Structure 1
Amino acid sequence: MADDEKAATEEAPKKGKKKLIMIIAIAVVLLGGGAGGYIMLKPSSATAEKEPEPGVVVPLDAITINLADGHYLKLKLSLQATAAAAEAPDGSKALDIAIDLYSNREMAELMSNAERERLKAELKEKIEKAYTVEKEKEIMDVYFTSFVIQ
């Protein structure tokens, strides 16, 4: 009888180890499959916010803006409309925003490339916001076609 008890006690740990290995293997397969499915089915960031299709470029008339200390800026803009825009945008809002942004600035401030680029980005943001209708952007970019300081 001692031999039977000894054989039974040796088989019990083997069966317990096999069950544990099986449970771990199943958990790994399920977790791996779940992670793989999530990665394959999640929306990519590129499709979440897609850039609008470009439309017509609308050149605006040149304007003269008074700067500080008797200087002035002659500015000419073009607006890049989106294809979603129903018609070519009227530039009066964009020119008004530009006048408001650049008026009474120091000439030295506008001579700096970094500051000029920062102000252009701010101008673009304000114009895009002004020309957004029902969450549909009508303007996607702003171009300086003339920027003369005197």
Structure 2
Amino acid sequence: MPETRVIGAPDRKIGGAQRPPAPSTRPAAPQPAAPKRRKGKTLAVVLVLIVGVAAVAFLLTRPEDSAATPQDPEPGMTIMVEPRNINLADGRYLRMGFAIELVAEAEEVPVAQATDIAIALFSGRSVDEVNDAAHRAELKDELTRQLTEAYDGEVHAVYFTDFVTQ
């Protein structure tokens, strides 16, 4: 009669009793920790939601462009101020002429007050100071500001038409 063989797990006996595990010559390798993917995915989803909510809030609450920036007044007529010699420091002088561009609604303004403001602003300065391009731009901005204030906002811009130092 043929022999019946039963093949089972090597650490189990036939009959149900378990055999103790064989001692290993190698130490057991540490099991790698399961990656924390759930926390990383949750954090990424939360960050995307926060950025999305912030973008929507910004778009809904930002002011309209036309209401936020005031309209620049339209330029009107230009008044020429004849060149004048202005005394600088160290016996030097500046020959300066300029034009005042008014806003569209403005009528002609007296030139004498503009000349007086320009003389007061440039008098006594050094030649190096008025010849430096950056400083000259600052002086021009200050002249524009003072003229705008003196003529109640009727000045749109100021342009130098003559500017010579000696």
Alignment partners' CA distance in 2, 1:57 and 1:73: 23
- Larger proportion of helix: 1
* Matched residue, 1:101: 121
TM-score (norm 2): 0.61
Q: Tell me which stretches of 4 or more aligned residues in structure 1 moved more than 3 Å.
A: 34-39, 45-48
Q: Could you tell me which amino acid in structure 1 is paired with residue 78 of structure 2?
A: V
Provide the aligned C-alpha RMSD in A.
Answer: 2.3
* Matched residue, 1:149: 165
Alignment partners' CA distance in 2, 1:46 and 1:93: 35
Q: Could you tell me which amino acid in structure 2 is paired with residue 90 of structure 1?
A: P
What is the percentage of aligned positions where both structures have the same residue? 38
TM-score (norm 1): 0.67
Long gaps (5+) in structure 1: 1-31
- Aligned counterpart for 2:85 among listed residues 55, 59, 64: 64
**SS across alignment from 2:82:** coil
State which structure, 1 or 2, has the greater radius of gyration over its C-alpha atoms: 2
- Aligned counterpart for 2:135 among listed residues 97, 109, 115: 115
Alignment partners' CA distance in 2, 1:69 and 1:144: 23
CA offsets per residue over residues 112-146 of structure 1, 9 Å max, x none?
111111111111111111111xxxx2111000000
Question: Is 2:73 the partner of 1:73?
Answer: no
